[in-house]
Structure 1
Amino acid sequence: MGLSDGTEENKKFDRLYICFKALKEGFLSGCRPIIGVDGCHLKGPHGGILLTAVGIDPNNCLYPIAYAVVGSETKQSWEWFLMLLKEDLHILRNDIYTFISDKQKGLLPAFENIFPGADNRFCVRHLHGNMKTAGWKGLAYKRALWAAARATTVHEFDKCITEIGEMNVKCKEWLIEKPAAQWSRSHFNPWPKYDILLNNLCESFNSSILDAREKPILTMLEWIREYLMTKLQQNRDRATKKWDGKRICPKIKKLLDKNMDSASDCIPVKSNDWNYEISCYDGSRFTVDLRAHTCSCRRDFVHSCYFVQTYLKVYEPAMMPMNSKEMWVKTGYIPPLPPSFGKKRGQPKKTRKPSAGEDGEDGKKMNKEKKKETKMKRQGWKVHCKFCGALGHNKKGCQWRKFAEEFPPDEEQQRSQPQVPDEVTQGDDVPVQEVDTQSQLIEQTVAATKPKLTARKRTGTKNKGIIITEPSRASPRKTTIAKSKNSAPRYPTTSGPQQFMNMPPSSKAKKSSKGGKITPSG
């Protein structure tokens, strides 16, 4: 653990490196000499960077080796991390180890100082992003780059580079400046026995601890420790119970079966007891040496590093459980202070900025037009109200529904009674006539209020000229209820259910303008 400069009482937490003994012994027992390094941002209150070093086990799965918490991703922090990693793994020969990375800030100078002579590989996905940033975009450039990266022979690699030069000479010159040994299988060192082109090892580990990265530093480190202890035991149980009796790990067996199916078109010609000449269906020929375990196609055979027995050796060391901090031994040292940090404005960001070519062409934001292509276009679709049956609005914004809630049908039943003239007495054979003033008022109101209530706002869409109409956003209480000179209420006249066309007058009372008496509005 590193502390900031200052007196013994004022020292603050600066950085912390962790490499468990079980992980170190397991990596040295059977993992291949290839290590992926990467850094990810911490999303807790103090911020910081988590540096990780991840290997690969015999089943082609990630194997965490070490990790460290630092303040920022600089050359000094990478040199400190790589130096401690070199001491833990007892690396004496740098040339037998291969590192794969995304060429983060200060990482390449740190490799030159700590691991001179070691092979460095560059993630092809990030190389393609740099190519797009340089100006060479398009599917043709992408396919040509990946074809050159997947080429296993120098002749095939040169052929792909020539095709890129025919497309753009400057792109070829830009690509030749990048050492082929860092991104093409044709120039890889066969010693690590791993032809990976992406730095998915560290990225997969960073995504698996995504929840822990939002917690405070001590809580995050404890979460990662428990996660690693559980993961080691799960892999150990899987190999013991499910792979019993098998010689090769499952993922490697699938690759071997796939290669066997592809080799059905190959014709072997024996030269002696150890050497063969293989003729392929495309006319190419390769030589195989069984004694040296080599093939001129540069594709690995089943090495002992892929055996289940090697897998069990890797996961044999176990991480021991740990008591709570109340039972820890007191060291007597003064505990460090929390790290200093500055609070930024606004809500803390928890999502990283996409790199170039990851989400859209510029890497900053996904192209809106490209994003719309993934959605289904609702051609010929119109809004339909389930309450009144009209088009152009839904039930939530229906004015008839709001009007029905203000004037329930119970009042209508009480006030829609027929009126009898005073001249009619009992016994006279005079038919009862209903006063038709209500329907007359409604007919007069239709002409006055219909232009306002039938107003529609045209909202054009991009669905090939389809126009979807919506009702006016005016308040339904102001637009649906208006009073004329004779204090007669006006009612909505837009299309709707028939029971609302003959709504009774409001039961609310109003003051008379003459005598000040309270009289019914109807």
Structure 2
Amino acid sequence: MYGQRVWYKFPYETLSDLKVLCDGGLNFQKMCDATQWVDTVEVYLEHEDVNNEAEESESGPQGGQSDQGNGESGPQDGAESEIEMNEARENVEPDPRDERVAAIVGEFVDEEEYNEAHRDTPPASDDEEDDIGNGYERWRRGSGELKIMQVFESISEFKEAVLEYALMGGWNVKYTRWGDEISEAKCAVVGEVPCTWRVYCSYEKAVNLYMVKSYQEEHSCTKDGYCKLLTDYAIAKLLINEIRHNNALMPRFIQDIIQDRYNLTVTHDIARKARKRALEMISSEFDEQFARIKDYKEHILETNPGSSCDLVTTIRDDGVEIFDKFYVCFKALKTIWRAYCRPIIGIDGCFMKSTSKGQLLAAVGRDANNQIYPVAWGIVQVEDADNWKWFIERVKYDLNLQNGLGFTLISDKRQYTNFKYFLTVFFYLQGLIKAVEEELPYIEHRMCARHVYGNVKKLHPNKPKFKKLFWAVANSFNEGDYKAALKELKAFDSQIYDDLMARDPRTCTRAFFSTISTCEDGLNNFSESYNSGLKKARSLPLVEMLETMRRQTMVRIEVRKKKLLKYRKKYSEKVAKTIIEEGEQRKWCKKRTPGPNGVSEVEENSVSHTVNMDRRTCSCRRWDLTGIPCRHALKVILDKKLNAEDFVADCYLTTLWKQQYSDSITPVEGMKFWKETPGSQIEPPPRPAEKGRKKNPKKRMKSIHESPTKGKKVSRHLKVIHCYRCGMAGHNSLHCKHAGVPNKPRKIYPRKKKQSSQGESMSFDQRDAPGPSQPTQTSNLND
């Protein structure tokens, strides 16, 4: 075999493509690698001339004997032959394949052993599909390139490559041939001379892939800013993530996105159809996630044993299982709340923003720094009595609330603007209150003061002083201040007083709060803040929303855990802030009268308060309710030269704060790792058909009394307009009904003259000064 030359080629190649096959060489390895794509290899054997070998064998020994017999010329001839061989080697052109091998070997250091499963593990040599050989090259997604002999897995992948090429280059391309095994695209620019750009792809049996067999790369046209491949389906796939996060994205904004991103123009009709198709795709994703909700429940219980997860479904008349509600409470959260958190929770509901309407219910606690600590959440269709009872039952069981004795619950009272919404809120409140009374009869049920104020304010607008008077009532820490504030409110407006008393203000007033929870919260802001943080999650499909809530909880725990690693104080940040605020008010406490058994009398603004250092109480009830010394207690503590932090409740200890974030939720794998549970698939609840055009979601507009005006101009709110025709109040001249009344003369204000700088005045005088042909009065006088 070493005296012969061996060649090989593939069946689809010609004889001019023959390749030399060396025993153990690089070509031999390439031929072996290519056999996995080609069934047949043609091998050719070239024999050498026997007569020439015989003549050379006869003359060879004789010449050798004569040279050796002379003895003198042997060494010289050997040196000359060696020089000639070296010159021959220098004149031979290097093989590029050898250079590539040398370069690769030069860069080689050592293999890295991947003993563990890792996403960057290099594939085995048997799986090297990208290197097909013989000029074939696989398409790389994101490259935007098209090449001759480029191969694809399918025609759809080829069309994806053509679309990517058109978008990245801004070319107008259209399909002229299509089918299951062939596809052709040409330039779609209309001109006097058709553009020569063309690409053709069809199935290649030799490699069992689809290959580009004809490609005219150069365009002979000018870009027109359009692309016929940008159909509604293509745009929907390109912008599905944007529309998923903002389902109110209007067609004009879709046009702007395509223009900014690809410098291409699409019509308004195409953008409208693309938005509709994208919403249909998203809706199908929602349905798919409802079908996997059973698997999600089982996977949670498998990865987080001890957690509570409840799924409730209903059976339709045709036997189809429909989603109704879902509840989850992870073991780590409920264990931490039971052991280290204060016995207070806030519950609130908010609307989901996805195509499958529903409402999210959440139970949120407080940590040692008075920050939110979510405990449990659930999904229901509507906030009615049955669903609230179902949710409170599960929270009661997970948090071991029993009959509610020794615990505090905060909920809101919603505002209403019309009678229909009033009925909805009325039944909502009745359902929530009834559920709490049935399941937790002895719990302290506080109502959100802000919502109580909003309900009364709706009945009595244009009463700006009511805001100050109401919050004086709600923020009263003792019954003395409460009665004084109510008396002032009644003197201001007896009707407002009656409407407020009809809503039982004691449920939102600090003077009547229990001191067991060591929390003065009269607002449900921490629950609403938690719901506000889930604004983006609420627009996602069901499972994605639940997973986002879980991951946000894990991130929150990790962030605060890292923060606590650097915190060195004995108590949380809230304690230091409260002591500073109360310390500033201590200056009004002028006198301290010591009494027996650690009791002292402190006078503030001519009002005496009793401070008991042993019981850690004060008659103002601020110390009792918050667990942090009030201004009167600070007066006694500092007069005795004691440390204020020694009289703070233990629920604010930093050690307890760290324990609250010592454990977290066990990670949950992705959807592809979930085991499929037997039984029928769950379908989403029916979506009510909405009439008319969908309105853009907007943030709730705050009332003028809810937050101070942040502008730099005085608001015209509550100002009464007057008609300049008749001078009467309540209307303007356009709506004046006094046709015969003469116009009231307007007051003319002198218009201020614009003050110009000295330079401007000088230039003005020079510009407006008369020329020599028009002598002025000054020039005449001078003459």
Instruction: Give the shorter-chain TM-score range.
Output: 0.5 to 0.7
Query: Is the Cα–Cα contact under 8 Å of residues 538 and 545 in structure 2 kept in the other structure?
Result: yes
**SS at the partner of 1:297?**
coil
Q: Is the counterpart of residue 263 in structure 1 residue 586 in structure 2?
A: yes
Question: Structure 2 unaligned runs (5+)?
Answer: 1-310, 414-424, 629-647, 707-712, 718-748, 752-783
Q: CA deviation at 1:113?
A: 1.5
Q: Is the counterpart of residue 296 in structure 1 residue 615 in structure 2?
A: no
Deviations 1:446-483 (A, max 9, x none): xxxxxxxxxxxxxxxxxx999xxxxxxxxxxxxxxxxx
Which residue, out of 25, 30, 42, partners 2:335?
A: 25
Matches within 5 A, 1:59-458: 59-103=369-413, 105=428, 106-135=431-460, 137-240=462-565, 242-243=566-567, 245-266=568-589, 267-280=591-604, 282-300=605-623, 301=628, 302-349=648-695, 351=697, 354=700, 358-359=702-703
Determine the C-alpha separation between the residues in 1 that align with 2:329 and 2:512: 32
Query: Is the Cα–Cα contact under 8 Å of residues 153 and 297 in structure 1 kept in the other structure?
Result: yes
Determine the C-alpha separation between the residues in 1 that align with 2:572 and 2:318: 53
AA aligned to 1:10 is: V
Determine the C-alpha separation between the residues in 2 that align with 1:95 and 1:349: 46
Deviations 1:90-134 (A, max 9, x none): 112413121111135121121112111222212221111111222
Query: Is the Cα–Cα contact under 8 Å of residues 389 and 439 in structure 2 kept in the other structure?
Result: yes
Determine the C-alpha separation between the residues in 1 that align with 2:620 and 2:696: 46
Query: Is the Cα–Cα contact under 8 Å of residues 361 and 378 in structure 2 kept in the other structure?
Result: yes
AA aligned to 1:166 is: A
Q: If each structure's helix is expressed as a fraction of its own residues, which one has the higher value? A: 2
- Alpha-carbon distance change, 347 to 54 in structure 1, aligned in 2, over 3 angstroms: farther
Deviations 1:310-349 (A, max 9, x none): 1111111211112122222343233312222123134545
Match of 2:213 in 1: none
Query: Is the Cα–Cα contact under 8 Å of residues 464 and 705 in structure 2 kept in the other structure?
Result: no
Q: Is the counterpart of residue 42 in structure 1 residue 352 in structure 2?
A: yes
Aligned residues: 365
**SS at the partner of 1:96?**
coil
**SS at the partner of 2:405?**
helix
- For the aligned residue pairs, the C-alpha RMSD in angstroms reads 2.6
Deviations 1:471-502 (A, max 9, x none): xxxxxxxxxxxxxxxxxxxxxxxxxxxxxxxx
Match of 1:5 in 2: 315
What's the TM-score, normalizing by structure 1?
0.66
- Alpha-carbon distance change, 58 to 260 in structure 1, aligned in 2, over 3 angstroms: same
Q: CA deviation at 1:261?
A: 2.7
What's the TM-score, normalizing by structure 2?
0.44
Determine the C-alpha separation between the residues in 1 that align with 2:496 and 2:581: 35
Determine the C-alpha separation between the residues in 1 that align with 2:715 and 2:543: 40
Determine the C-alpha separation between the residues in 1 that align with 2:526 and 2:500: 25
Q: CA deviation at 1:197?
A: 2.4
**SS at the partner of 2:395?**
helix
AA aligned to 1:227 is: Q
Query: Is the Cα–Cα contact under 8 Å of residues 131 and 137 in structure 1 kept in the other structure?
Result: no
Determine the C-alpha separation between the residues in 2 that align with 1:216 and 1:370: 44
Determine the C-alpha separation between the residues in 2 that align with 1:130 and 1:183: 13
Determine the C-alpha separation between the residues in 2 that align with 1:2 and 1:272: 62
Query: Is the Cα–Cα contact under 8 Å of residues 252 and 306 in structure 1 kept in the other structure?
Result: yes
- Alpha-carbon distance change, 371 to 345 in structure 1, aligned in 2, over 3 angstroms: farther
Determine the C-alpha separation between the residues in 2 that align with 1:349 and 1:16: 29
- Alpha-carbon distance change, 230 to 29 in structure 1, aligned in 2, over 3 angstroms: same
Determine the C-alpha separation between the residues in 1 that align with 2:553 and 2:600: 46
Determine the C-alpha separation between the residues in 2 that align with 1:258 and 1:332: 60
Q: Percent identity?
A: 29
Determine the C-alpha separation between the residues in 2 that align with 1:465 and 1:41: 56
Determine the C-alpha separation between the residues in 2 that align with 1:8 and 1:22: 40
- Alpha-carbon distance change, 141 to 275 in structure 1, aligned in 2, over 3 angstroms: same
- Alpha-carbon distance change, 71 to 352 in structure 1, aligned in 2, over 3 angstroms: farther
**SS at the partner of 1:69?**
strand
Query: Is the Cα–Cα contact under 8 Å of residues 447 and 508 in structure 2 kept in the other structure?
Result: yes
**Larger relative contact order (Cα-Cα within 8 Å, sequence gap ≥ 6):** 1
